[in-house]
Amino acid sequence: MTSPDSIKSCQTLIAAGIKRECRVSVVIPIHNEAAYLPETLKCFARQIDWRERPLNPNLFEIIIFANNCTDESAAIARRWQKQNKALNVYVAEADLPPENSNIGFVRRLLMNEADRRLRNNNQQGGIIMTTDGDTCVAPNWIAANQREIKHGADAVGGRILINPAEIRKMDGKAKRFHLLDTGYRLSAAELEARLDYVSHDYLPRHHQHFNGSFAVTTDAFRRAGGVPDVRFLEDVAFYHSLLRVDARFRHSPTVRVTTSARRSGRTESGLSTQINEWTIMGQNADDYFVESAQSIERRICLRRRLRDLWNRGAAAVSVSEIAALAGQLFVCKSFLQAEFHDSKTFGGMLERVQHEQIRIGEWKKNFPLVTVEKALFDLRQTLETLRREKRKNNQSFAHTSSR
């Protein structure tokens, strides 16, 4: 068992060296996962490449860290390690002190360890991947992540689906909110791709960037400063750190995992918390309020405008253009002008603009929240119009080209 003192001082978590061929380090934090862990680990024994051939086991390693477990999780991991000697599996275990016994600390510890190992492997770096102890990755999960990064992504969020059997067991009202929320967020993601196209996150795409399926190159990991020092929701915080440095993030539908819908969460926030909230809302006959379709569309279009001006360069953007955009964003002209001149990255500027909008509060006043049912209906109407226009334009182009 690794001592808490060595972890606290950020010393090496895994003493064994990394294989020379290894380019992927998969990290899995576990805390009382005995009910799910056997199925989670089984998925890594049958990984295949993009041509559906068995994946070379020396190309990846798996680091499992059992923290503060009171069940058989660590024993299950070690037993699986012995049964799969062809794989590069490393298991560490520790009882962390209260200040460190949270998923934010553990995930940060593991991803730092993966970065250290990959960076020290002939200075070539590689890809850090992470999932959870209650999650089953697809047979091509490693290969699909590698493929997206080979095609230009710095980081990849996979599509995370709840196990269908567990959805069927879910409280009826919570299941309804879950399905509405999924449709709403997928529709918003499609609208984003259509109105603010970026070459690395094209359609089809989704909306998730969570720990159930997250991959990042070691270069992008370091450029973003690693996983932020937060107790929970470290995946969301890290995603924003990547955007802040203009990392190319891909929401890939070809990278897929299935996770549990357990009601007893292992963190202070996350999927289990959301399911519990939906259950309570349903029992109280409360509505589920979200950002309106009008607000989403306006926000995306203004981000596109902001990006276009940024790409032109501060010297080429007029004061009148900045003033007009500031008015539409509900921020001060002087603030936006300073951001254009002082910002080092577009992502950093965008984040500060969003924080300023929240501070001022005018956007929220002009675009109040609506029920998820209304937002989803309006989004689908908008998307159908955009799809129809796209089809019409494609047909017009094909007709012109055939002449």
115-145 per-position pLDDT tens digit: 999 999 877 789 999 999 999 999 999 999 9
Cis peptide before 204 (omega within 30 of 0): yes
Which pLDDT score is estimated for 262?
65
Strands (E), 188-242: 214-217
**Cβ pair 328, 309 in contact under 8 A:** no
What was the pLDDT predicted at 279?
79
Place 7 in a pLDDT band, splitting at 50, 70 and 90: very low
Same domain, 383 and 360: no
pLDDT beyond 60 at 177: yes
User: Do residues 153 and 219 lie in contact, with contact meaning Cβ atoms separated by under 8 Å?
Assistant: no
Residue 225 shares a structural domain with residue 301 = no
Model confidence at 1, pLDDT cuts 50, 70, 90, reads low
Identify which of 82, 92, 83 has the alpha carbon closest to the alpha carbon of residue 30. Answer: 92
The most distant pair of C-alpha atoms in the chain lies apart, rounded to whole Å, by 75
Cβ atoms of residues 345 and 245 within 8 Å: yes
Residues 242, 265: one domain?
A: yes
Exposure pattern of 301-326 as b/e (b: 16+ CB <10 Å)?
ebbebbeebbeeeeeebeeeebeebb
Kindly state the DSSP code that residue 48 receives in the 8-state scheme.
B
The tokens describing 197, both together, are 């196209």
Domain final residue pick, 286, 306, 329: 286
Q: Helices H, strands E: what count in the chain? A: 16, 10
139 touches 46 (CB < 8 A): yes
Q: How confident is the model at residue 5 (pLDDT cuts 50, 70, 90)?
A: very low
Residue pair 209/157 in contact by the 8 Å Cβ criterion: yes
Instruction: Based on the fold, state whether residues 269 and 165 are members of the same structural domain.
Output: yes
Residues in CB range of 149: below 8 A, 6 or more apart: 127, 156, 215, 217
Helices marked H in 245-345:
271-283, 293-312, 319-329, 333-342
**Sign of the torsion angle spanned by Cα atoms 160, 61, 134, 266:** negative
381-400 pLDDT, tens digit per residue, is 999 999 999 888 877 656 56
What is the pLDDT, as a whole number, of residue 263?
A: 47
Contact by Cβ (8 Å): 206, 249: no
| pLDDT (average), residues 55-74 | 96
| Position 402 confidence tier, pLDDT thresholds 50, 70, 90 | low
**pLDDT higher than threshold 50 for residue 154:** yes
Which pTM does this prediction carry? 0.92
Residues 183 and 255 reside in one and the same domain: yes
| Both tokens assigned to 140 | 């091509």
Do 147 and 258 have their domain in common? yes
Predicted pLDDT of residue 70: 95
Q: Are residues 265 and 375 in the same domain?
A: no
Answer whether residue 266 shows pLDDT above 60: no
Q: Which domain does 378 fall in, by range?
A: 370-401
Same domain, 9 and 154: yes
Kindly state the average pLDDT of the residues 319-339. Answer: 97
Give the end of a domain, one of 286, 316, 333. 286
Q: State the Cα–Cα distance between residues 234 and 242, nearest whole angstrom.
A: 12
Shared-domain flag, residues 334 and 202: no
Q: Give the residue-averaged pLDDT of 242-255.
A: 98
pLDDT in tens, 200-242: 999 999 999 999 999 999 999 999 999 999 999 999 999 999 9
One domain, residues 249 and 376: no
pLDDT at 12: 79
> How confident is the model at residue 394, as a pLDDT?
79
Same domain, 362 and 396: no
What is the pLDDT of the chain when averaged over all its residues? 92
Q: Is the pLDDT of residue 8 over 50?
A: no
Give the number of other Cβ atoms within 10 Å of residue 232's Cβ.
19
Q: Which of 286, 313, 346 is the last residue of a domain?
A: 286
Q: Are 315 and 342 within one domain?
A: yes
Residue 267 has pLDDT above 80, yes or no: no
- Find out whether 289 and 367 touch, Cβ atoms under 8 Å: no
**What's the number of domains the chain is made of?**
3
Q: Which CATH number covers residue 151?
A: 3.90.550.10
Burial bucket for residue 4 (CB in 10 Å: 0-12, 13-18, 19+): middle
Tokens linked to 71:
């069940």
